[in-house]
Structure 1
Amino acid sequence: MKFERQRREGPIRGTRTSLWHHLLLWFHCTSTSLQLFILTAVTFGIVLPLVCHDLLHSYYFVHRWHLDHMSWEFLEQNLEEGQAAVQYFDSLRLLNSSLMVSANADEPSPKPWLVITIITVQRQLEYHYPMQVMSRFHQLLARCGKACHHHHLFLCNVDQNPQNHQDAQLLAKFFPTTVRYNEKESASSDGDSSSNIFEKEKQDYAYCLAKTLSTFDTKYVMLVEDDAVPEDDIFSVLHHLLLARFSESALGDALYFKLYHPEKLQRYVNPEPMRILEWIGLGMFLGTFLSLLYAWVLGHPVIRRPIFLFFMLYSMALTELFGRHYLLELRRLTPALYNVVPVTECCTPAMVYSAASAHRILGYFSELHCRLGFAKDTALYSILREKGEWAYVVEPNLVKHVGLHSTLRRKNSEPKLL
């Protein structure tokens, strides 16, 4: 039986080997131009579409096949994580009631190195966004141990009806909390800020920053919106950046560090000059490697300049179409690999300020009026040009933006990941 099976399979295997050999031989005999054309067609017409059709941040992502399903799965997972956060604080309350603290944010506090202030307003209750964020920070601080001994959590409730913000009311039993609006103020709030939600957001942000500075004598402030869940390595990366890479001066004298930029805006084809330089450098590195591999496979003694140029452009196109976001994820191997580049404009889910730069921000904000098309993230970016300041963004992101339901743009009854 064994002999018969070998006898039957032998010709088939031999045929496959012969076919592969003939293909290689034919490829060797074709012109260089045809070889490179075939490689390009196979890579960008067959391989990448097959590999990347379900990668959310790739150019080859097929929206009509995957977006609705992936968005639904994301929301379902978000619901589960919200319930897990509720259970987490229930277990803390039952196991150790001594963890509960007074809600009076004006009580004296020991000098911390970093205060993490969560800015919260009431939104979709079933997702428990602020509880997700606070529970995750609480877990990471406990895991961090002595290295995070001088890190404090602080909750800033800026809802105009704070007594109705159930999650904030519960969290106030565990963490120092400040409330911007009381019942009288919420009933007769300033007309401009109540009608202009962009100006209100800026004023709320400034209030939380100022309240943090007045309550804690801290060196750094991290302002986090209540739908930005921290990544596992956030504290190890921050410690490396602030204590090692930028140890000579706070934040390297920058106005702020941004810890999140939307993945869909992280591509190379974007108006950030430093990103273009990174793209060219990566193309040259991969182009050199692929040129050497090509020369070795075909037995060429030297690499010709046109071949190198082709593989450089080929690599640049490959990395852009595959998705820069996925290349950035490789930097999570160690904090030393994280990238710090000149800041980009959009979005402020998580920002780090030194005490000195926070005071400068408050002064600048008092001179600015936000409106549609000029929200607080745009205002922050405009300060850099007008005041001669500079700022940085950390790559990859140190928080995950889990809130598909925006408090500013409320027309997303069916939220999508993109």
Structure 2
Amino acid sequence: MWTFHKLRLLSWSSPALHFFFLTIVTFGILAPLTCHHLLHSYFYARHWHLDRMSKEFLEQSLKEGEAALHYFEKLQARNFSLPHGERASSRPWLVITIITVYRQPEFHYVLQVVSGFHRLLQQCGPPCRSYQLFLCNVDWNSRHQDATLLANFIPVTSRFANSKGPNISRAVFRNTFEKEKQDYAYCLEKSLQNYNPEYILMVEDDALPEEQIFSVLRHLLETRFSEPHLRNALYLKLYHPERLQHYFNPEPMRILEWFGVGMFLGPLLGWAYVKIAHLPVLNYRIVLFFSLYSMGLVELVGRHYLLELRRLAPALYNVVPTTQCCTPAMLFPASSAQRTVNYLAEISCRNGFAKDMALYSFLQDKNEKAYVVEPNLVRHIGLFSSLRLNYKPKLL
């Protein structure tokens, strides 16, 4: 009887049994209950939340669009112009070129983006005096009223200003992906010709800047990109879709980071478990379990949320080899911008081979290197594509 009771006590104190229950409770109960509302988690219950969250996102975007419109209307009433760089005679260190086209006018995407950059430039102060805002309007007719409004405050170039709309429309809409590529090359080249800056930040008109964008960019360009393997990069991408940021993805460089998470958290959690369970020693089986446990947890909860911890300081931002998708915000050194323009002129885009794939193919064809910064330095706020009809937009 004493032996049976002893064996029963030993079984309940078994690490294997503890690990079994911890796995069931974590992945079967706690994580689904706490993460079902996280958009970029595997536990996200889209049938519960997606429609409501998409509706709330659109409503919030409408409010922010109206606020941006009132902001510029007030500036116009005061005969105010944006102070950063438009009359500067010196060479800008950074030109922020915002590419805009007419789309869903009630959301005022471009006004949100320009007002966001303007506010951050004002907060930045003297370190950003050599930054230049520049708007590139690539809409094929004169219907883009937000671009017309912004011409009162910042320099604007219009690709089709001297063209006749009906004649352009027949050629343009035959291949919208090729037009998008030509628009991009035009705006990049105009930024070079007009300002001859050291860097060009190409921003699409639905990419809202994050609060840390200028401090992080200055740190990266002045410190990190002075390193030999980063110095000659063709471009630095500032955005990658959150839904594609998981470890279990085609980008192999994340696997090492994933193992690093396990190697860090495995011994740490294992040590805590040994202390709580009053075990005599930490062995490799305990470390292995907690390494796999932590790796599974961060993947299923979402790598995106782990990356957010890097926003604590510019030095914590990560720079890794670039991925194929997408182009809401791209930073080009002046030395590589003209090479990019020339290459884009040599190829044609189409459905299935858009400009992001064209830029990525440039790296392979010309043996160039490019990088992406993590976490993102812009937020993609546009649910209505200018290339594809999208009458029922969703966050995913």
Give TM class, smaller chain.
Answer: over 0.9
Aligned to 1:18: none
CA distance in 1, matches of 2:262, 2:229: 34
**What is the DSSP-based 3-state SS (H/G/I as helix, E as strand, rest coil) of the residue aligned with 1:184?**
coil
Q: Trace 1:155-234 onto structure 2 (pairs within 5 A).
A: 155-161=135-141, 163-182=142-161, 184-189=163-168, 193-234=172-213
2:168 is aligned with what amino acid? S
Query: Aligned AA for 1:414?
Result: K
TM superposition shift of 1:59:
0.3
SS in 2 for 1:173: coil
Residue 92 of structure 1 aligns to which amino acid in structure 2? L
Give the paired residue count: 387
Aligned partner of 1:82: which letter?
G
Aligned with residue 233 of structure 2, among 248, 251, 254:
254
Does residue 264 (structure 1) correspond to residue 247 (structure 2)? The answer is no
Match of 2:29 in 1: 46
CA distance in 2, matches of 1:414, 1:202: 26
Q: Among 329, 340, 348, which residue is 2:319 paired with?
A: 340
Q: Normalization by structure 1: what TM-score?
A: 0.89
The CA distance in 1 between the partners of 2:378 and 2:357, in whole Å, is: 20
- In structure 2, what is the equivalent of residue 148 of structure 1? 128
Q: CA deviation at 1:35?
A: 1.5
**Is the partner of 2:319 in helix, strand or coil?**
strand
Which of 55, 67, 70 pairs up with 1:84? 67
Q: Deviations over 1:369-391 (max 9, x none)?
A: 10010000011111111110010
**In 1: Cα distance, 2:10 partner to 2:234 partner:** 56
Q: Contact 1:109 / 1:216 at 8 angstroms: preserved in 2?
A: no
Superposed CA offset, 1:78-119 (max 9, x none): 001001101111222233x15279xxx9x9853100000000
Q: Distance in 2 between matches of 1:46 and 1:250?
A: 45
Q: Give the aligned partner of residue 104 of structure 2.
A: 124
Change over 3 Å in CA distance of 1:339–1:189 after alignment to 2: same
Determine the C-alpha separation between the residues in 1 that align with 2:231 and 2:350. Answer: 31
The more displaced of 79-88 and 300-309 is 300-309
Q: Name which of 340, 349, 354 aligns with 1:370.
A: 349
CA distance in 2, matches of 1:131, 1:186: 24
* 2:377 is aligned with 1:398: yes
In structure 1, what is the equivalent of residue 81 of structure 2?
99
Counterpart in the other structure of 2:4: none
Residues in 1 aligned to 2:282 and 2:347: alpha-carbon distance in whole angstroms: 57
Cα shift at 1:250: 11
- Bigger drift between 278-287 and 306-315 goes to 306-315
Does residue 320 (structure 1) correspond to residue 302 (structure 2)? The answer is: no
Q: Could you report, residue by residue, the CA deviation over 1:112-140 in whole angstroms, capped at 9, with x for unpaired residues? A: 00000000000001000000000010110
Opposite residue 146 of structure 1, the aligned amino acid is P
Say if 2:82 and 2:118, in contact at 8 Å, map to a contact too: no
- What are the Cα deviations for residues 272-316 of structure 1, in whole angstroms up to 9, with x where unaligned? 111110000001110111111111112222222122111111110
Q: Which one of 264, 270, 278 corresponds to residue 285 of structure 1? A: 264
Any idea what the Cα deviations from partners look like across 1:31-55, whole Å, max 9, x if unmatched?
A: 3222111110000000101110101
Is 2:95 aligned against 1:115?
yes
Matches within 5 A, 1:397-416: 397-410=376-389, 412-416=390-394
Q: Which one has the largest radius of gyration?
A: 1
CA contact (8 A) 1:119 1:155 kept: yes
SS at match of 2:173: helix
Distance 2:10 2:42 in 1: 30
Q: Is the 8 A contact 1:251 1:354 kept in 2?
A: no
**How far apart in 1 are the matches of 2:363 and 2:232?**
13
Unpaired runs of at least 5, structure 1:
1-24
Determine whether 1:244 maps to 2:227: no
- Give the residue type in structure 2 aligned to 1:159: D
Partner Cα separation in structure 2 for residue 296 and residue 404 of structure 1: 50
The 8 Å contact of residues 251 and 257 in structure 1, kept in 2 or not, is answered as no
With over 3 angstroms needed to count, the CA separation of the structure-2 counterparts of 1:139 and 1:28, relative to structure 1, is farther
Q: 1:28 touches 1:298 (CA, 8 Å); kept in 2?
A: no
Residue 150 of structure 1 aligns with an amino acid whose one-letter code is: S
Please, what is the CA RMSD of the aligned residues? 1.9
- The answer on whether the counterparts of 2:35 and 2:41 sit within 8 Å (CA) in structure 1 is yes
- Letter in structure 1 aligned against 2:39: L
Matched residue type, 1:126: E
